[in-house]
């Protein structure tokens, strides 16, 4: 019998579990750990609440989770409740699928001012992540600035712009719905330090901005390169740029809220005393694809800034960390003695949810090659003994199903669930 511990129950974790089942069938026991009492990581607290179709992939993970050989071990923090070295002594292999849940820093003056948030905390707020549920961002100003030209920046701009009616069928948490309902925003400025041809947004997500009830996306026509240059783009990027060209026909007055794309605009300072008052932006030009400041700068008065410039992994005691890249130091997934990493923890915050499937299968192939035979480890039996000794309160998958039932039962009309946003409430629902 081979015993595998997977740390993290998001997409990378469950695809790895699925691959291990495929590889070893009945000869493997897999424990999937999570620090929260609820599974699915990014699917629950990262994917936008109005993207329910994407969240359906959790049904596939549930199928894996319900297999006899797989067990969910929730409410256990690796590094706090149990050390990595202990897991290594109990399991044949330990796979870190801990994602990239921290914000990359902008590295500019003023980024710690009240009213300035990273996307991890802002997305965590509207998705009810226990760590960020209490954020209470101030939506009382007329202007918000969203920094970054990736899909997370789009998610944030869209969520800030939607009406309550447009959240029907979503699982946005009640505190965020109430906060957004009271929002007085009239202008959302999306800052891109490069141009329309360099965006990291995908067409489906960009297209959604064009269909909002009270908001209109605006592009400054002068920022668009000559149309003939779109030919050189790949088909997805060409579609996105075609949408930006459509947005360039829109006018601010068309709807009460404008989502303005400000390209070639790099934030250089966030200004304010007690809280953010404006963002100072420097115009850029491209030099061999890189943004270079032109020396021309201007201020955007605003009361909210959300920086969506990418994520970092969290270092785990006893695990080598690549500070520069912001992820676990690894050689194509290999970290150390019977220690591996997968998904965003391995490669950084790139790709779609589906990208984690080949990633999970590849790491299992490596484990199989490194360890053709099981090493006679104690696995879950050993972990359970240690957990009992330490009085750890494990939340099982059956417990999660009870929590889920309570969330489904509390859902407002048409919504799939009303999430618990604190750990104690989750545990109470289990009990
Ligand atoms: P991302 O795709 O890497 O985009 C980050 C953006 O931030 C880029 O436009 C980047 O510009 C910009 N940026 C980086 N540093 C900056 C700085 N110092 N100042 C100004 N701008 C800066 O990251 P993400 O949006 O966080 O998304 C993470 C991953 O999740 C991506 O793979 C994304 O596609 C995926 N995702 C997918 C969906 C979906 O499919 N619906 C939704 C959300 C997220 P440069 O290009 O100039 O570096």
Tell me what the mean pLDDT of segment 202-212 comes to. Answer: 97
Q: Are 274 and 352 contained in the same domain?
A: no
Who lines ligand 1 at CB under 6 A? 106, 147-153, 155, 193-194, 198, 200, 202, 205, 266, 308-310, 349-352
Question: If DSSP codes are grouped into helix, strand and coil, which group holds residue 143?
Answer: strand
Residue nearest to atom 30 of ligand 1 (CA): 350
pLDDT tens-digit readout, 322-355: 999 999 999 999 999 999 999 999 999 999 999 9
Burial 137-174 (b: 16+ CB within 10 A, else e): bebebebbbbbbbbbbbbbbbbbbbbeeebbeebbbbe
What pLDDT, on a 0 to 100 scale, did the predictor assign at position 317?
A: 92
- Which tokens hold the place of 302? 């605003």
With both helix axes pointing from N to C terminus, report the angle between 151-161 and 174-181 in degrees, rounded to the nearest 10. Answer: 70
* Distance of alpha carbon 162 from alpha carbon 215, whole angstroms: 8
Picking from 248, 279, 310, the residue at the C-terminal end of a domain is: 310
Distance CA 278, CA 216 (A): 22
Q: How far is the CA of 339 from the centre of ligand 1 (A)?
A: 29
pLDDT of residue 278: 98
Q: Counting atoms of ligand 1 from 1, which one is nearest the CA of 351? A: 32
b/e burial code for range 353-384 (CB count within 10 A of at least 16 → b): bebbbebbbebbebbeeeeeeeeebebbebbb
Confidence of residue 253 (pLDDT cuts 50, 70, 90): confident
Shared-domain flag, residues 367 and 404: yes
How far away, in angstroms, is 347 Cα from ligand 1 center?
14
Q: Which domain does 241 fall in, by range?
A: 102-310
Q: Computed from CA positions of residues 90, 91, 96, 101, in that sequence, does the dihedral angle turn out positive or negative?
A: negative
pLDDT band at 254 (very low <50, low <70, confident <90, very high): confident
Q: Are residues 42 and 135 in the same domain?
A: no
Domain count of the chain?
A: 2
CATH number of the domain that residue 418 is part of: 3.40.50.720
Identify the pLDDT of residue 111.
Answer: 97
pLDDT digits (tens, 9 = 90+) for 301-316: 999 999 999 999 999 9
Considering only CA atoms, which of 328, 395, 389 is closest in space to residue 363? 328
* 68 & 116 share domain: no
Q: Ligand 1 center to residue 142 CA distance, Å?
A: 25
Question: Which residue has a Cα nearest atom 15 of ligand 1?
Answer: 309
Percent of the chain at pLDDT > 90 equals: 97
Residue 159, domain CATH? 3.50.50.60
pLDDT at 374: 87
Distance 16 CA to ligand 1 centre (A): 25
SS (H, E, C) 146-203: EECCEHHHHHHHHHHHCCCHHHCCCCCCHHHHHHHHCCCCCEEEEECCCCHHHCECCH
Q: Are residues 160 and 258 in the same domain?
A: yes
Please name the residue whose Cα sits nearest to atom 9 of ligand 1.
Answer: 149
Residues 24 and 120 in one domain: no
HSE-up of 292 (CA within 13 Å, CB side)? 6
Round to whole Å and give the CA distance between 120 and 349. 12
- Using the mean position of ligand 1's atoms as its centre, give its distance from the Cα of residue 205 in Å: 13
Q: Are residues 326 and 422 in the same domain?
A: yes
Closest atom, ligand 1, to C-alpha of 200: 2
Which band of pLDDT confidence, cut at 50, 70 and 90, is reported for residue 252? confident
Domain boundary, last residue among 310, 333, 356: 310
- Atom 33, ligand 1: residue with shortest CA distance: 151
Rounded CA separation 278/300 (Å): 5
Same domain for 300 and 371? no
The contacts found for 262-265 with CB under 8 angstroms, 24 or more apart, are 262/189, 262/190, 262/191, 262/192, 262/220, 262/300, 263/192, 263/194, 263/195, 263/196, 263/219, 263/220, 263/223, 264/192, 264/193, 264/194, 264/195, 264/223, 264/291, 265/191, 265/192, 265/193
pLDDT by residue (tens digit) across 135-172?
999 999 999 999 999 999 999 999 999 999 999 999 99
For residue 110, the 8-state DSSP code is T
Ligand 1 atom index nearest CA of 54: 41
The answer to whether 172 and 212 have CB atoms below 8 angstroms apart is no
Q: How far apart are the first and last CA of the chain?
A: 33
CA of 386 from ligand 1 middle (Å) equals: 41
Show which of 257, 288, 310 is a domain's final residue. 310
- Atom 1, ligand 1: residue with shortest CA distance: 150
């Amino acid at each position: 019998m081979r015993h595998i511990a997977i740390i993290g129950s998001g997409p990378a974790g469950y695809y790895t579990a699925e691959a291990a089942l495929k590889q070893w069938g009945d000869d493997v026991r897999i424990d999937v750990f999570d620090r929260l009492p609820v599974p699915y990581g990014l699917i629950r607290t990262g994917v936008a609440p109005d993207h329910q179709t994407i969240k359906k992939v959790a049904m596939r993970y549930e199928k894996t989770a319900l297999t006899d050989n797989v067990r969910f071990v929730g409410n256990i923090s690796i590094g706090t409740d149990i050390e990595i070295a202990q897991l290594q002594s109990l399991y044949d292999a330990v796979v870190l699928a801990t994602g990239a849940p921290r914000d990359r820093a902008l590295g500019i003056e003023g980024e710690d001012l009240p009213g300035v948030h990273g996307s991890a905390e802002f997305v965590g707020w509207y998705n009810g992540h226990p760590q960020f549920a209490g954020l209470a961002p101030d939506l009382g100003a007329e202007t918000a600035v969203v920094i970054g030209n990736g899909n997370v920046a789009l998610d944030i701009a869209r969520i800030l712009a939607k009406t309550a009616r447009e959240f029907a069928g979503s699982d946005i948490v009640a505190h965020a719905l109430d906060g957004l309902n009271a929002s007085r925003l009239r202008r959302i400025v999306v800052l891109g330090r490069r141009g329309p041809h360099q965006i990291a947004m995908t067409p489906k997500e960009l297209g959604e901005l064009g269909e909002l009830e009270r908001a209109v996306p605006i592009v400054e026509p002068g920022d668009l390169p000559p149309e003939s240059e779109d030919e050189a783009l790949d088909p997805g990027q060409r579609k996105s740029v075609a949408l930006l060209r459509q947005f360039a026909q829109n006018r601010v007055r068309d709807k009460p809220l404008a989502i303005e794309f400000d390209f070639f605009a790099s934030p250089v300072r966030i200004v304010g005393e007690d809280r953010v008052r404006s963002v100072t932006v420097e115009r850029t030009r491209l030099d061999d694809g890189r943004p270079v400041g032109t020396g021309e700068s201007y201020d955007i008065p605003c009361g909210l800034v959300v920086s969506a410039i990418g994520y970092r992994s969290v270092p785990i005691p006893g695990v080598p960390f690549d500070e520069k890249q912001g992820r676990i130091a690894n050689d194509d997934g290999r970290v150390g003695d019977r220690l591996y990493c997968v998904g965003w923890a391995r490669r950084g915050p790139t790709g779609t949810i589906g990208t984690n499937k080949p990633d999970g299968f590849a790491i299992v192939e490596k484990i199989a090659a490194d360890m053709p035979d099981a090493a006679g480890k104690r696995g879950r039996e050993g972990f359970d003994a240690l957990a009992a000794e330490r009085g750890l309160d494990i939340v099982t998958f059956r417990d999660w199903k009870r929590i889920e039932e309570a969330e489904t039962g509390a859902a407002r009309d048409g919504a799939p669930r009303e999430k618990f946003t604190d750990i104690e409430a989750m545990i109470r629902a289990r009990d």
